[in-house]
Each structure stands twice: as C-alpha cells, then as structure tokens.
Chain A
Amino acid sequence: MVQQILSEQLVIILNGLSGAATLFLLGTGLSLIYGMLNFLNLAHAAFLPLGAYLAASLIHATVGAVGGTLGFVGLFVVFLVLLLVVVPAVVSIVGLAMERTAFKPLYGIEDDYQLLATFGIILMMEDAMKFIWGGEPVSATAPSNLLGTFSLPGGTYPWWSVLTILVTALVAGTLYYFFEATRLGKITLAMAEDEEAVGFTGIDTRSIHLKVFVIGIALAALGGALYLPTASMTTGLALEFVILAFAVLVIGGLGSLKGAIAASLIIGMVQAYGSYYVPVLELALVFLLMATIMLIKPTGLFGEIEA
C-alpha cells in the first residue's frame, strides 16, 4: 500500500518535472528578454514549435540517411548533437534575422504596442510554419524509442523524459552561474537596471542585447527539440504555448531567472497533480493560480520590477 502510494507519487513528480522543463525553457527566454531588454515579445513562444518542427525534419532526415548504418551509440550521439546543438543554433539564426527586421523597430515603443505588434508577428509565424510543415501533426519519436523505457510499478516511463529533466536542470544551473558569476552576466544585470549608464562605460550594449535575445530563443528552440520525441507538433499549439509562457512570466516575476525556475516547477506540478487528481479543473487551476499570485504579489514571486 505504502509502496503503491510512493510509486504513484514518483510518477506524478516525474511528470511534473518534465512538464516544468518545457515550461522553463519556454518561459525563461521571454522573461530574460523582457527583464533585460524591456521588450515584451508575445511571439517568443512560437520559437518552441519552430524548434520542434525543425527537430522533426532533422530526425526524419537522419533516420532516412544513416539510420541503419550507425550503431546505437553512434545514432544516439548524432541525435543529441542535432537536438541539443543544431536545432537551437539554426533557430537562433532565424531569430537573429527576425530581430534585425521585425523586432528591432519595436524596441522603443510602449509595452502595450509591443504586445500588439508581436501578436501580429505570432500570427505570421504560425502561418509560415503551416506553410512549410503543413497542418498535419508532425512527430518523430526515434530518439525516445532508442533510449527506451524503464519499469515502474503500474507501468513504464520513458528515459527521454528523464533526459529532458536532466538537460534542463543543467541549463538552468549554467544560466544561474552565468548571471551570478561571469562578467557578461553582471553587465547584463546592470543593463536591466540602467542601460544608459552601462552604455556610458563604453560597453557595446547592442551586442549584449543580441546575446540575450539569442540565448532566449535558443532556449525555446531547445525546449521544442526536447519536447518533440515524446509528443507531436500541430498548428494551433503555438497559441497555447503563448498563454503558458505568460503564466510562467507572471507567476515568476518579470525578468527573474529564479522566478522562471520556481514558476515552471509550480505550474508543472499543478498540471501534473491537477490532471491526475482533478482532471476537470486542470487548466482552470493554472489561471486561478496566476490570478491569485497577481493579486497577492503583483510583481510575481521573484519579480522586483514595478510597473
């Protein structure tokens, strides 16, 4: 009995953590870009589907080209390189191109209008992805199938989800180290406080802008790449991710890394426990939580920026 309850809890916690991993990769970029660059990018969440679609194409191409010739280890390494390096890199380049053209004109304007203009951009991105990858659900489970599953009482569990959790934890740790301990990280934090002052010291704030922007987009793309092997991507999901990304942002606090970590964990757990015990309320719980936190602590759990 006790053992059963423990195993039940273990599965739910794993589910919560893997959900949190996706949310963290999705929400952190949005939060960092808003915090550091004061740019509220509704379209940020669309880079996750973009990463996922790209991952699917790459996986299919790889399986088609070299699937049989590589051994288990070889194929797995290829997948890791593709999903953890190539996808974020390619999506970053796309993001960079968009930064130059679509996002740059929006930096100076009011938050409200940034929200609206980037709402326009997300509509365009969704249709562009549909144009390239079609309206059918796209999936590629080869990497997850390669890793297989492990047994738990009551069922099995995919190793890929465990890998997702570990990779995300590693990313979170690295980001934390970056902002706390490196020079660039400190400059970035200083820029969030007072960009003009940093500019006076001769530091090239524009290049730091770009770095933060690219990191944020790479994270979302990584989220998509890690998400895909256990799920599928369809048109219309981008708008769902937008809402969830904002939930992370609002609950955690604008521009706070710690907040993004905490908020992802909270939402991930609420969703996991919610869909297990009170499935009827799952989505409503997230928004109830969001509204409650905004009432009690308007700046979010860790946010300091006062609007």
Chain B
Amino acid sequence: MSQDTKTGITVGIRQRFGNRSSAVGALLLVGAFAFPYLPGTGQYEVFLLGQILAFAIAALAYNVLLGYTGLLSFGHAAFFGGSAYAVGLAMQYYGMTELLLLIPFGVLVAGTIAVVIGFISVRHTEVYYALLMLALAHLIYVLTVKLYTVTGGTDGVAITTPTIAGVNYLTAWGYAGYLMGILYYVILISFVVTVVLLWTFMHSPFGLTLKTIRDDPERARAIGIPVRRYRWYASIMSGLFTGLGGAMYAFLNGHVTPGTVLHWSRSGELAFMTVLGGTGWFFGPITGAGAFILIRSQAQQLTEYWHFMMGLVLFLVIVFEPEGISGIGARIRRRVRDWRGGGGEQ
C-alpha cells in the first residue's frame, strides 16, 4: 500500500478526517477537559495524563520532521531540554515566576537553538542529519553538565511553582488544586493549540511542500522548491513545538536535570514514541506518547530489566509493525469494514 515511497515504511500521511473520527475526537477532548472531575481520578492520574500530553506535544512536533519531512533527528533533546532549562534558569536568575511569560521564553529559546543547529544540520540528510543533530545536541548536554556553577551540573535546576496571570494558585488552592485545577488545563490547552496549529500547517501548501520533499527530494528540487530552506523551516517549527512540550514537562515535573531532558537518549525516546504511534498518521504520535509512557511505567514496576523490555518493544515495532499502533488500528478498521461489507474485496 505504500509502494510509492522509497522504503515502504513511511506511508502517506493520512489526510482524511471523516465525520466519525471528528466525533470521536470531540468526545475525547470533552473527556480530557472533564478528566480531573471524573470519579476515581486522583492527583497522580492527572499528573500522568499531563505528562502524556506534554510528550504528545513534543512527539507531534517530532513527527513534523520524521513523518512529514523524512528527517530522523537524534538531537531533539536540545529543544526539549533547552526550553525546560530556559524556564528553570530564568526562574533562578531573573526571578521570573509568571507562567505566561516563561512559556514563550522557553519556546523562543528552543526556537533559537533550532534556528542555529537546524541551519547547520539541514545541509545534510538521512544518517548524516541524524548524526550531526546528535553531535550538536550532545555538545549542549556536555556543556550543561560542565558549567556546574551556572547550571547546577547534573543536579539540574528546580522549577518552582509559577504564578499564572499574576495569580498565585499554589497559595490559593494548594498544590493539588493548582495541579488539577490550572496547570493541567494549561497543558491541555497548549496541546490543543499545538494540534490545531500543526494540523493547519501540515495541510497548508507548506505541509504539502514538505511531503513533496520527503517523497522525492530530487523532483522537488527540479520543480523549483528550495529543499534545504524548507527543511530548515521544518526543523524550526519542530523545535518550537518540542520546546513547548519541554516547558510543559518542566512545570509538571518541578525539576529538570541534564540526564532527564538533554541527554541523547531523550531524543531516542521521542523517536521511539513517534514510531510506536505511527509516523504515517497525524495523530499517531499522540497514541505513541501515551502508549510509551504507560508501557514504560508498567515495565518498571514489573522488572529491574525494564530497559530490555523497552528495547524489545522498539525492535519488534520496527521489524513487524513499522507503521506503529496507528497502523494496527487502521488494519483492524479495514478488517471490520471488509467484514461488514461482506468481505472479500480490498
């Protein structure tokens, strides 16, 4: 079904967004907004869903490169962690406590990093792009660890509870109230904004151009598309939104360290989530982020050899189901349709 692409892995990004899917989406959205008030929902569940949403933002952004532009990055930790660190350091050194200022600041810093290392990296493609991103991002990681006096080294920086629009919800509502009543909604709204904006971008001429480049860079060049510049734009856009995810993660986690937000294995995880969900679907990375976090949390409870289990999952997904969970879902839906339609034909 994907014979037209060169590898058979990246299938065309699904564009159809039928009525039934819209209804399901709307229902999920309402559910997400009501989530903290559902019976049986505690602090931890809200925290976990918030974390999934933060990573879903980053994974959606990651897929702008992997799924839409055909570039694998092993350096997205630089954007994710760059933004998280920007938030933490701004709090520590400039006493900034306003969330509505800190978020744009973090995103801007991530964007700046993306402008610079994106500019350098898009001169190359495929494995060179992956490795160059890895080298540049790892340089940022090493420097953060080295500059102990400024960054706190491996101990990282604390992210204190911010005010939101000038209101200190922590003193007003206590931490649980702050988390469930306001922070979660900040993350959820950021997530919705990300989905809407990226959906719009990816279905605009800009997104189509990226797909043209992904499918055949030579042809794209031949018809006059400035390939490198578009890849750079895509890197910046991906960096900005990954930064948004990083900032959300920082507020939720309350502390960031180089090991958790800047290390190259974090970049690997974002790639993992995206592939797990399915790079060929716009909404794939969201599923991937959710599945990844839930699987990992279960694996960690089961065994100290949970790295092995995660490695196995990643390996099996790529070998047997490179289209990820969304691919499985699509196949099941197709089966159901075939079965209902009397079966037989494709």
Contact = CB atoms under 8 A, between A and B. Distances in A.
Interface string A266-301: 000000000000001101100110110011001000
B139 A284 contact: yes
A116 B268 contact: yes
Q: Which of A110, A130, A254, A294 has the most CB of B within 10 A?
A: A110
A113 B74 CA distance: 12
A122 interface: yes
A280 B322 CA distance: 43
Nearest to B263: A239
A124 B139 contact: no
Interface string B14-53: 0000000000000000000000000000000000000000
Contacts of B135: 247, 250, 287, 290-291, 294
Interface in B61-84: 66, 72, 74
Contacts of B185: none
Interface stretch (B161-169, B221-229, B248-256, B312-320): B312-320
A4 to B, nearest CB: 30
A161 to B, nearest CB: 26
Contacts of B138: 243, 287
Q: For chain B, which range describes its interface: under 10, 10 to 19, 20 to 34, or 35 or more residues? A: 35 or more
Interface stretch (A9-17, A101-109, A174-182, A217-225): A101-109
- Mostly, the A contact residues are helix
A110 B7 contact: yes
A123 interface: yes
Contact of B139 (A40, A117, A288): A288
A284 B143 contact: yes
Q: Which of A116, A117, A127, A249 has the most CB of B within 10 A?
A: A116
Contacts of A121: 311, 315
B178 interface: no
A298 B124 CA distance: 8
A40 B305 CA distance: 25
B339 interface: no
Contact of B315 (A115, A124, A295): A124
Q: Top 10 A-B pairs ranked by shortest CB distance?
A: A123-B311, A120-B314, A112-B72, A127-B308, A120-B315, A124-B311, A120-B311, A117-B318, A111-B127, A287-B139
Given A116-B314, A120-B314, A294-B132, 18 more contacts: A40-B127, A113-B9, A115-B74, A116-B268, A119-B268, A119-B314, A120-B312, A123-B311, A124-B308, A127-B307, A243-B138, A246-B134, A283-B146, A288-B139, A291-B139, A294-B128, A307-B125, A307-B126
